[in-house]
Structure 1
Amino acid sequence: MNKSIKMLAFMGLFMALLVVATVVVSFPVPTFNLYFNLGESVIYLVALVYGAIPAAVIGSVGSALSDILKGYPMWAPITFFIKGTEGFIAGYFARRFNPFAGVVMGAVFMMAGYAMAAWKLYGPGAVPVELAGDFFQVSVGAIIALLLYKRMKNFLIKDN
């Protein structure tokens, strides 16, 4: 199979997986109009397997679409920027250093970005709630992605 067609097919599958992990597997956080989801695991897995650019595209488009589908349209432009940049950072640092460094650097950017957005939208009282939820979300996402990457990297990478 043509390499670019296979890559496009995998990206479509990962985009769909990201939307499902964000929209279906999510839990609302009381107050401040926030929700916990498993989308980070998909963004990090794509970053580790395919690198910065695919993770940025999937992270930005898939996550913003998820916000719209979930009923949080005011977050979609913010999410587009934060999740796209998070995916890029995770992919870049994973390739430059190691997978763990990639997810940590992506997570730090994501947490800082959403903390600033929550401050701007809801005031300083939202920041601790946002940071606590995001820390849990990126931690769970990192664990899932690192475990899946370790088990799946040869299957996903061998023909790329």
Structure 2
Amino acid sequence: MIEINKHTSGSSRSEKSDNTLIFVTTAMMTAMVMIATTFFKIPNAMGYIHLGDGFVLLAAIILQKKYACFAGGVGAGLADIYGGYAVWAPWTLVIKIVMVLIVQLFFDFLTKRASNGKHIAKIAGIPFAELFAYVLAVLWTVSGYYIAQGFISGNWIAPVADVPGNVLQAAVGSIITILVSVTLEKTSLGRSFYYRRSTL
């Protein structure tokens, strides 16, 4: 009886430790999305692009669905509010959540395919389906913000001018995600990622 209680107690402590790690990681990624969106900016001919999208996608690689959706959506939404663009926050929340869900749908597909022993086509070590997921995420993000700006401004022509910048921003975010995740998955942290290329 004593051994059972000890085992139960140990299991409970382990679950609490795991939950604490998940919550801390989610909070950290939420903050990183906000910080990268607000402060990590690269000037270009069209104005500037921020690096927030890269951290939204990185959250999708590191965290389980509901936590990744929270980090990506809330982190980006808070950046809008902090920057004085609160009217954009609800749109950003939805756009980033769907962005996370799009790529994780493909992550799940790849993981399941690998677990069934099926071949995974890759380009330079990156699964083709993963790259395709980023392309879809870029297209969704650009379309989402075009629609959002159309509703907010009441003008469906002017938002076209922002499309190239949004494409560049989301594309750069995808590249950053690949570079950072490839590096991190070689460390001990990589073993706890939601999506792990090393298992494919």
TM-score by length of 1: 0.85
Q: Name whichever of 118-127 and 131-140 sits farther off.
A: 118-127
Q: Name whichever of 109-118 and 137-146 sits farther off.
A: 109-118
Match of 1:124 in 2: 156
Whether 1:16 and 2:31 are equivalent positions in the alignment is yes
Unaligned ranges ≥5, structure 1: none
Separation in structure 2 between the aligned mates of residue 69 and residue 27 of structure 1, nearest angstrom: 19
Separation in structure 2 between the aligned mates of residue 136 and residue 80 of structure 1, nearest angstrom: 20
- Aligned-residue sequence identity (percent) comes to 25
Which letter does structure 2 place at the counterpart of 1:79?
A: T
Whether 1:72 and 2:85 are equivalent positions in the alignment is yes
Residues 119-142 of structure 1: CA deviation (Å, up to 9, x unaligned): 222312223222111101111100
Corresponding residue SS for 2:185: helix
Match of 1:54 in 2: 67
Separation in structure 1 between the aligned mates of residue 149 and residue 51 of structure 2, nearest angstrom: 20
Larger radius of gyration: 2
Match of 2:197 in 1: none
Whether 1:114 and 2:133 are equivalent positions in the alignment is no
Unaligned ranges ≥5, structure 2: 1-13, 111-128, 194-200
1:129 and 1:156, CA in 2 relative to 1: closer, same or farther beyond 3 A?
farther
| Contact map agreement 1:19 1:66 (CA 8 A) in 2 | yes
1:66 and 1:29, CA in 2 relative to 1: closer, same or farther beyond 3 A?
farther
Corresponding residue SS for 1:71: coil
Which of 69, 83, 100 is the matching residue for 2:131? 100
Separation in structure 1 between the aligned mates of residue 66 and residue 48 of structure 2, nearest angstrom: 26
Across the two proteins, how many residue pairs are aligned to each other?
158
Q: Name whichever of 150-159 and 134-143 sits farther off.
A: 150-159
Corresponding residue SS for 2:156: coil
Counterparts of 1:39-50 in structure 2, within 5 Å, are 39-50=52-63
Separation in structure 2 between the aligned mates of residue 157 and residue 53 of structure 1, nearest angstrom: 19
Instruction: Give RMSD over aligned pairs.
Output: 2.5
TM-score by length of 2: 0.70
Separation in structure 1 between the aligned mates of residue 162 and residue 107 of structure 2, nearest angstrom: 25
